[in-house]
């Protein structure tokens, strides 16, 4: 059983998506765990990580997502484990999850240092389970170089099985190879993949938005799978909005106050994927009926428009179990831009 | 003389803006005063002076060399302030500002300026934006409505000038005699409450009809209504039932307490009869002012038609008129006058063969039987019925019943002769109607008032609450610049007031959460404790039914992570660990300081669907046990409290106790604006109640 620890220097680098792409490309039985969960779901007294549930679903894993994480909050880990007992627990889980599997992916926390105080940071994980460490890096070119330099320094201080760096979401792969790759190679850092950014991977559905915002769906359930490409704030007058070219573009979500019937109607007159009503204020029934007729979801949130926009700004376009196209695209990207053979090596 | 006496019985009147132009309101008002038979002095004020309708006119109010009790101001809005200033100088007691163009069109500043000046100089203001005043006692018709007003015993107070003017006309058509009619308009100074205070002891007034559009000082109005209905019935028509915006409120009580819902509940609480429309209101006024109050609730229907009898029985059910149901007694009373194939069960069916002679017999025995308190007579024009004798029958029995102190109503159904009979009594004050529902609606209104008087209580239900301890908790929240209490603070208030609540402790760490859960005993509930997270469930800050330490550990992580994600800048104090209460009937009890009506309490079926079900009732202060019992019985879910499907009765005493305590807190602790327990779980009788979730909001601004 190969053990691959996938970590990132910063959050939202795309670790889970890269794992999905690699696992698909490997065409072998895989296992997965995320010891220190950070995308928590709690339902009916069950606690699991979003990524664990996603990978369980995509790969039809038999294990329960709840078993794939040891903890979610440092308070629990400090309360229940010391260094030795956490190592023991980690081995217990990995032997159970890895049974009859060719490869087990162990995903690190949101960044390289996340969980270090409770011995569940990515480097500790790689050391404890003797796994191969892959680092996913993304960002602008300077950030990528900074992160690679920082990681090189960490590498000097540790004794780990380093598998290489995967540079993700790169705007121009050839440019990156020409300009930066030689310098990185000179530093002695192995780069096993440079994956280009794809706009379609940044889109998400209205349903995803509703779940992330903990919004109440007032109507238009049939439109929840609409794809969201742009977000507009409907603060202006309807006539101004309707004279703005962007307002007529499809796949947009409009954020406006629940009492802005005029703006809601203006949005319903154009091609709109969904409308977020802020301040927990519901529009009159005739407006709700109109949205229902047009199958445009109305999402009600308690926050004001500014806070809602801020929350949306922070939403990562994570993969979901319904994103079949994105999953296929990730497999293609991995096969085309990543050295899968290098990963296959034990 | 009280201020109001100068309004209703002035010795002298000045009409500022009196005119000879018949198209002007200044002419109409002067004409109505003079030709309406007013016996006091009249001083028309007009810059051209001369003579007006036989009275010398004065250029200026100052030129009148006599005292003036009442000034009617009918000049353009921009000149009104100056006129009021002159009234003050002349020591006029009351100014009727008929002129419009003030707060009703946004000219609030001018209205306030006039009112402040008048108040400072001792002039009372009625209006502005009114159609005037009618007072039978002074034969005064200072309105621009019709002059054909019939003197009588109904007083009308109306906020709408136009409606008031048309109501005057309608009262004449309906032959409803008026003791007084006052239009209050914008209510800048004198309002309904003050007029009611006067009309309570107004001998000529037997019943008061009020038309209200908006209530300004509800608490005062409620108090005045409470005092008035002790002495005489009050009928209210209030428009704006549907004017309720979808306003997001911080408490269910706030969002459920729409102005009209609260108004409706409170007027009923004080025995006020609320009519849907003017027709009902006039019918009720006419009936209540012309008929005696019954001595009991045994009503009998006497009919010659089975179908109409059943329909009337349905109407009785709808309007709360109780039918006398002692069958042996009824048989004893009526067997001698009902044919063998008829029925002595109520309705008393004289059968289709009955003529007025049979009715005569039945009405006579009902009149003389002391167990019968009211009679509804249904006269159907069947083949053998001698419709031509109907008027005689009515003429014979109405005065006898009235004298005996028994209300009697006649519902007549048939062709021309019947219609002629109804028409002949129209406007006479005789209770003769075309439809069964119309007549029973009147008797129902009378019985509502009868029951109110029979059950009213002077008891005031207040609890002994530790005001200082509660205020100390509120003070600390204020120091923290909060307008609401955290869950543990609200629980502390419940404890101080003696309202049972689950045990709870605030855990600041996971270790404490596990420790406290063990001490409280499993299962437990955990809730986030943060002043920055009010909607705990929305933030993922609540975990229920945690049965062991592992579940507590998982829930603690989940709550912390979810709440940090929900509001990254929230200051989290920890988690409240609470005893998990066993299930029971979930209720909602709220108390709030209503902006218009002052402290009110709310009761209803609780839980998360409270705003959908809207199964709630309201009451205002003063509260008493009888009213609290009524408010509990009023909700549709009341049978749940009595126990359904084999369940036992719930602890209604515990519920009443909680309502009184919440009401007392809102009444006495002025810094608190809203308290809401949702759910309050009610257990079986004798096992008490438990306040599971309590939300307390504070008034904004220092107190």
Find chain B residues with C-beta within 8 A of A281's C-beta.
Answer: 246-248
Q: Does B653 touch chain A (CB under 8 A)?
A: no
The upper half-sphere exposure of residue B12, i.e. CA atoms within 13 Å in the direction of its Cβ, equals: 16
What was the pLDDT predicted at A167?
Answer: 95
| Preceding peptide of B154 cis, ω within 30° | no
Does the structure show a pLDDT above 70 at B703? no
Dihedral angle at the C-alpha atoms of B102, B105, B107, B110, nearest 10 degrees? Answer: 0
d(CA A190, CA B516): 52
B280: left (phi > 0), else alpha (psi -120 to 50), else beta? alpha
Nearest to A281 among B248, B509, B540 (CB): B248
Beta bridge partners of A256: A277
pLDDT digits (tens, 9 = 90+) for B540-582: 899 999 999 999 999 999 999 889 888 888 999 999 999 998 9
d(CA A281, CA A301): 8
Q: Read off the tokens for B176.
A: 């409803």
pLDDT digits (tens, 9 = 90+) for A148-197: 999 888 777 778 899 999 999 999 999 999 999 999 999 889 999 999 99
Residues A225 and A257 grouped into a single domain: yes
Q: Does B543 touch chain A (CB under 8 A)?
A: yes
The residue of chain A with its CA nearest to that of B511 is: A79
Residues A208 and A291 grouped into a single domain: yes
Judge whether B458 and B626 are in contact, CB under 8 Å.
no
DSSP tag of A257 = E
The residue of chain B with its CA nearest to that of A211 is: B538
Q: Does B535 touch chain A (CB under 8 A)?
A: yes
pLDDT digits (tens, 9 = 90+) for A99-148: 999 999 999 999 999 999 999 999 999 999 999 999 999 988 889 999 99
d(CA A170, CA A181): 12
Instruction: Looking at the complex, report in whole angstroms how far the Cα of residue B561 sits from the nearest Cα belonging to chain A.
Output: 7
Across the range B43-69, mean pLDDT stands at 92
Q: Does B248 touch chain A (CB under 8 A)?
A: yes
pLDDT digits (tens, 9 = 90+) for B238-272: 876 544 333 333 444 444 555 678 888 888 899 99
Chosen for mutation from B510, B522, B566, B612 (greatest number of chain A CBs closer than 10 Å) is: B510
Residues A94 and A185 grouped into a single domain: yes
Judge whether A135 and A166 are in contact, CB under 8 Å.
yes
The residue of chain B with its CA nearest to that of A38 is: B561
Residues A234 and A305 grouped into a single domain: yes
Alpha helices, H only, chain A = 15-26, 50-58, 74-80, 83-97, 122-129, 141-157, 173-179, 181-186, 206-213, 238-243, 261-269, 285-293, 305-313, 324-337, 340-344
Across the range B48-56, mean pLDDT stands at 88
- Centre a 10 Å sphere on the Cβ of residue B65 and count the other Cβ atoms it contains: 7
Judge whether B196 and B224 are in contact, CB under 8 Å.
yes
SS3 B272: coil
Characterize the bridge pairing of strands B524-530 and B572-579: antiparallel
State which residues form the domain around A238: 204-313
CA distances from A162 to A168, A218, B262 (A): 18, 50, 72
Residues A30 and A114 grouped into a single domain: yes
- This prediction's pTM: 0.71
Chosen for mutation from B517, B534, B535, B558 (greatest number of chain A CBs closer than 10 Å) is: B558
Judge whether A340 and A28 are in contact, CB under 8 Å.
no
Is the torsion defined by CA of B84, B85, B87, B93 positive or negative? Answer: positive
Across the range A315-322, mean pLDDT stands at 87
Is A79 close to B551, i.e. CB distance below 8 A? no
B545: left (phi > 0), else alpha (psi -120 to 50), else beta? left
Q: Average model confidence (pLDDT) for chain B? A: 90
Residues A245 and A262 grouped into a single domain: yes
Helix axes B625-634, B259-269, angle to 10 degrees: 130
Name the residue among B37, B105, B100 with its Cα closest to residue B73: B100
Burial of residue A282 (number of CB atoms within 10 Å: 0-12, 13-18, 19+):
middle
pLDDT digits (tens, 9 = 90+) for B76-115: 999 999 999 999 999 999 999 999 999 888 889 999 999 9
Residues A72 and A175 grouped into a single domain: yes
Name the residue among B574, B472, B587 with its Cα closest to residue B526: B574
Determine what percent of chain A falls in helix, strand and coil, rounding each to the nearest 5: 45, 25, 30
Q: Read off the tokens for B159.
A: 């906020």
Judge whether B358 and B337 are in contact, CB under 8 Å.
yes
Across the range B694-698, mean pLDDT stands at 93
The residue of chain A with its CA nearest to that of B539 is: A214
The residue of chain B with its CA nearest to that of A301 is: B538
Residues A58 and A194 grouped into a single domain: yes
Find chain B residues with C-beta within 8 A of A80's C-beta.
Answer: 553
How many structural domains is chain A composed of?
A: 2
Characterize the bridge pairing of strands B542-546 and B207-212: unpaired
Residues A69 and A182 grouped into a single domain: yes
Residues of chain B above pLDDT 70, percent: 96
Is B562 close to A80, i.e. CB distance below 8 A? no
Nearest to B248 among A40, A47, A280 (CB): A280
Asked whether this complex has an ipTM greater than 0.85, the answer is no
Q: Does B525 touch chain A (CB under 8 A)?
A: no
What was the pLDDT predicted at A346?
Answer: 65
Nearest to A76 among B247, B545, B553 (CB): B553
Residues A18 and A154 grouped into a single domain: yes
The residue of chain B with its CA nearest to that of A41 is: B558
Query: Per CB distance under 8 Å, which residues of A are interface residues toward B?
Result: 38, 40, 42, 45-47, 71-73, 75-76, 78-80, 214, 258, 279-284, 302
Nearest to B558 among A47, A78, A279 (CB): A47
Is B562 close to A71, i.e. CB distance below 8 A? no
CATH of the domain at A278: 3.40.1390.20
Instruction: Looking at the complex, report in whole angstroms how far the Cα of residue A93 sits from the nearest Cα belonging to chain B.
Output: 17
Place of tokens 């049965």: B547
CATH of the domain at A130: 3.40.50.300
Dihedral angle at the C-alpha atoms of B229, B232, B234, B235, nearest 10 degrees? Answer: 140
Q: Read off the tokens for B507.
A: 């855990």
Chosen for mutation from B526, B561, B567 (greatest number of chain A CBs closer than 10 Å) is: B561
What was the pLDDT predicted at B247?
Answer: 37
Instruction: Looking at the complex, report in whole angstroms how far the Cα of residue B680 sits from the nearest Cα belonging to chain A.
Output: 23
What was the pLDDT predicted at A344?
Answer: 83
d(CA B544, CA A58): 31
Nearest to A42 among B510, B514, B562 (CB): B562
Higher pLDDT among residues A342 and A338, named by residue: A338
Is B557 close to A45, i.e. CB distance below 8 A? no
Does the structure show a pLDDT above 70 at B197? yes
Is B561 close to A72, i.e. CB distance below 8 A? yes
Find chain A residues with C-beta within 8 A of B511's C-beta.
Answer: 79
CA distances from B92 to B6, B61, B72, B123 (A): 10, 10, 11, 6
Domains of chain B: 3-239 (3.40.50.720), 298-455 (3.40.50.261), 503-579 (3.30.1490.20), 585-698 (3.30.470.20)
Judge whether B362 and B300 are in contact, CB under 8 Å.
no
Is B560 close to A42, i.e. CB distance below 8 A? no
Listed in sequence order, the residues at least 6 apart from B588 whose beta carbon sits closer than 8 Å to its beta carbon are B252, B253, B602, B603, B604, B605, B606, B607, B610, B616, B676, B677, B678, B679, B680
Nearest-5° Cα angle at A164, A160 to A170 = 145
Judge whether B564 and A314 are in contact, CB under 8 Å.
no
Burial of residue B644 (number of CB atoms within 10 Å: 0-12, 13-18, 19+):
exposed
pLDDT digits (tens, 9 = 90+) for B288-345: 999 999 999 999 999 999 899 999 999 999 999 999 999 999 999 999 999 989 999 9
Nearest to B248 among A40, A80, A279 (CB): A279
Instruction: Looking at the complex, report in whole angstroms how far the Cα of residue B406 sits from the nearest Cα belonging to chain A.
Output: 50
d(CA B288, CA B407): 10
Is the torsion defined by CA of B651, B656, B662, B664 positive or negative? Answer: negative
What was the pLDDT predicted at B255?
Answer: 46
Residues A60 and A173 grouped into a single domain: yes
d(CA A250, CA A226): 10
CA distances from A271 to A221, A234, A277, A296, A309 (A): 16, 14, 17, 9, 20
The residue of chain A with its CA nearest to that of B543 is: A45
A252: left (phi > 0), else alpha (psi -120 to 50), else beta? beta
CA distances from B187 to A105, B184, B262 (A): 77, 5, 21
pLDDT digits (tens, 9 = 90+) for A248-261: 888 999 999 999 99
Find chain A residues with C-beta within 8 A of B551's C-beta.
Answer: 45
SS3 B357: helix
Nearest to A75 among B510, B535, B540 (CB): B510
Where is B625: in which H helix or E strand?
helix B625-634
- The model's confidence at residue A49, banded by pLDDT at 50, 70 and 90, is very high
Is A76 close to B511, i.e. CB distance below 8 A? no
Is B561 close to A282, i.e. CB distance below 8 A? no
Residues A81 and A101 grouped into a single domain: yes
Q: Does B612 touch chain A (CB under 8 A)?
A: no
């Amino acid at each position: 059983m190969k053990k691959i620890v996938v970590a990132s220097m910063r959050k939202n680098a795309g670790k889970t998506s890269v794992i999905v792409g690699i696992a698909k490309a490997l065409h072998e039985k895989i296992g997965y765990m995320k010891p220190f969960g950070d995308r928590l779901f709690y339902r009916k007294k069950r606690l699991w990580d979003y990524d664990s549930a996603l990978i369980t679903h995509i790969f039809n894993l038999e294990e329960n997502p709840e078993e794939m994480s040891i903890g979610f909050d440092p308070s629990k880990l400090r309360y229940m484990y010391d260094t030795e007992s956490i190592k023991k627990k980690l081995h217990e889980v990995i032997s159970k999850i890895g049974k009859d599997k060719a490869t087990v992916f162990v995903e690190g926390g949101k960044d390289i240092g996340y969980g270090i105080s409770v011995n569940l940071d990515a480097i500790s994980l790689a050391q404890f389970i003797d796994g191969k460490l892959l680092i996913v890096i993304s960002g602008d070119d300077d950030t990528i170089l900074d992160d690679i330099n920082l990681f090189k320094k960490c590498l000097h201080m540790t004794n780990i099985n380093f598998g290489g760096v995967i540079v993700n979401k790169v705007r121009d792969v050839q440019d990156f190879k020409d300009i930066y790759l030689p310098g990185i190679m000179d530093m002695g850092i192995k780069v096993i993949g440079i994956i280009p950014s794809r706009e379609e991977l940044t889109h998400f559905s209205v349903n995803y938005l509703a779940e992330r915002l903990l919004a109440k769906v007032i109507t238009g359930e049939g439109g929840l799978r609409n794809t969201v490409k742009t977000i507009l704030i409907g603060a202006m007058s309807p006539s101004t909005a309707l004279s703005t070219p962007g307002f007529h573009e499809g796949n947009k979500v409009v954020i406006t106050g629940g009492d802005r019937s005029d703006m809601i109607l203006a949005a319903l007159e154009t091609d709109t994927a969904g409308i977020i009503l802020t301040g927990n204020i519901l529009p009159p029934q005739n407006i709700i009926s109109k949205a229902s007729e047009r199958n445009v979801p109305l999402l009600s949130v308690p926050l004001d428009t500014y806070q809602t926009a801020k929350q949306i700004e922070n939403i990562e376009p994570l993969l979901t179990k319904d994103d079949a196209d994105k999953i296929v695209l990730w497999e293609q990207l991995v096969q085309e831009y990543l050295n899968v053979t290098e990963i296959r090596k034990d | 003389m009280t201020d109001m006496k100068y309004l209703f019985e002035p010795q002298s009147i000045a009409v500022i803006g009196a005119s000879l132009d018949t198209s002007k309101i200044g002419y109409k008002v002067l004409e109505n005063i003079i030709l309406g038979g007013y016996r006091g002095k009249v001083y028309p004020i007009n810059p051209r002076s001369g003579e007006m309708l036989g009275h010398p006119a004065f250029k200026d109010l100052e030129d009148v060399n006599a005292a003036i009790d009442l000034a009617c101001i009918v000049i353009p809005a921009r000149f009104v302030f100056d006129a009021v200033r002159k009234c003050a100088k002349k020591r006029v007691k009351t100014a009727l500002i008929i002129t419009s163009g003030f707060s009703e069109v946004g000219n609030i500043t001018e209205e306030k300026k006039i009112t402040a000046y008048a108040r400072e100089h001792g002039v009372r203001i009625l209006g502005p934006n009114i159609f005037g005043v009618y007072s039978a006692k002074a034969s005064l018709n200072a309105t621009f409505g019709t002059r054909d007003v019939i003197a009588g015993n109904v007083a009308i107070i109306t906020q709408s000038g136009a409606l008031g003017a048309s109501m005057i006309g309608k009262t004449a058509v309906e032959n409803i005699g008026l003791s007084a009619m006052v239009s209050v308009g914008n209510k800048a100074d004198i309002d309904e409450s003050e007029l009611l205070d006067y009309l309570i002891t107004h001998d000529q007034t037997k019943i008061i009809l009020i038309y209200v559009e908006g209530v300004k000082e509800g608490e005062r109005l409620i108090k005045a209504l409470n005092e008035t209905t002790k002495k005489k019935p009050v009928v209210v028509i209030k428009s704006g039932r549907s004017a309720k915006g979808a306003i997001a409120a911080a408490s269910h009580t706030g969002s459920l307490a729409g102005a009209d819902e609260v108004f409706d509940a409170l007027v009923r609480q004080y025995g006020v009869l609320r009519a849907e429309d003017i027709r009902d209101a006039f019918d009720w006024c006419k009936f209540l002012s012309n008929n005696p109050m019954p001595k009991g609730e045994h009503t009998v229907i006497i009919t010659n038609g089975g179908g109409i009898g059943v329909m009337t029985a349905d109407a009785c059910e709808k309007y709360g008129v109780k039918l006398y149901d002692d069958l042996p007694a009824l048989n004893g009373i009526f067997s001698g006058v009902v044919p063998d194939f008829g029925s002595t069960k109520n309705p008393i069916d004289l059968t289709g063969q009955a003529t007025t002679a049979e009715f005569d017999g039945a009405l006579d025995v009902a009149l003389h039987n002391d167990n019968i308190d009211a009679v509804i007579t249904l006269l159907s024009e069947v083949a053998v019925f001698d419709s031509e004798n109907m008027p005689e029958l009515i003429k014979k029995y109405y005065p006898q019943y009235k004298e005996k102190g028994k209300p009697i109503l006649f519902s007549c159904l048939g062709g021309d002769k019947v219609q002629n009979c109804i028409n002949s009594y129209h406007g006479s004050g005789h209770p003769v109607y075309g439809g069964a529902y119309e007549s029973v609606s009147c008797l129902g209104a009378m019985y509502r008032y009868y029951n109110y008087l029979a059950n009213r209580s002077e008891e005031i239900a207040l609890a002994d609450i530790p005001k200082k301890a509660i205020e100390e908790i509120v003070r600390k929240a204020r120091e923290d610049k909060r307008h609401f209490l955290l869950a543990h603070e609200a629980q502390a208030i419940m404890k101080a007031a003696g309202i049972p609540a689950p045990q709870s402790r605030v855990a600041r760490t996971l270790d404490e959460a596990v420790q406290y859960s063990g001490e409280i005993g499993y299962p437990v509930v955990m809730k986030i404790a943060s002043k920055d997270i009010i909607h705990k469930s929305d933030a993922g800050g609540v975990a229920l039914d945690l049965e062991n330490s592992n579940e507590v550990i998982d829930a603690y992580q989940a709550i912390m992570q979810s709440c940090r994600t929900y509001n990254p800048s929230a200051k989290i104090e920890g988690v409240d660990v609470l005893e998990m209460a066993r299930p029971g009937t979930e209720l909602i009890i709220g108390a709030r300081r209503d902006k218009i009506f002052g402290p009110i309490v709310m009761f209803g079926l609780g839980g998360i669907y409270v705003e959908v079900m809207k199964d709630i009732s309201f009451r205002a202060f003063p509260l008493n046990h009888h009213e609290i019992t009524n408010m509990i019985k009023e909700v549709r879910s009341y049978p749940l409290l009595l126990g359904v499907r084999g369940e036992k009765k719930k602890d209604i005493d515990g519920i009443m106790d909680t309502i009184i305590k919440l009401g007392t807190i809102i009444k006495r602790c002025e810094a608190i604006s809203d308290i809401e327990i949702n759910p309050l779980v009610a257990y079986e009788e004798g096992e008490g109640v438990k306040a599971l979730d309590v939300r307390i909001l504070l008034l904004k601004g220092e107190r």
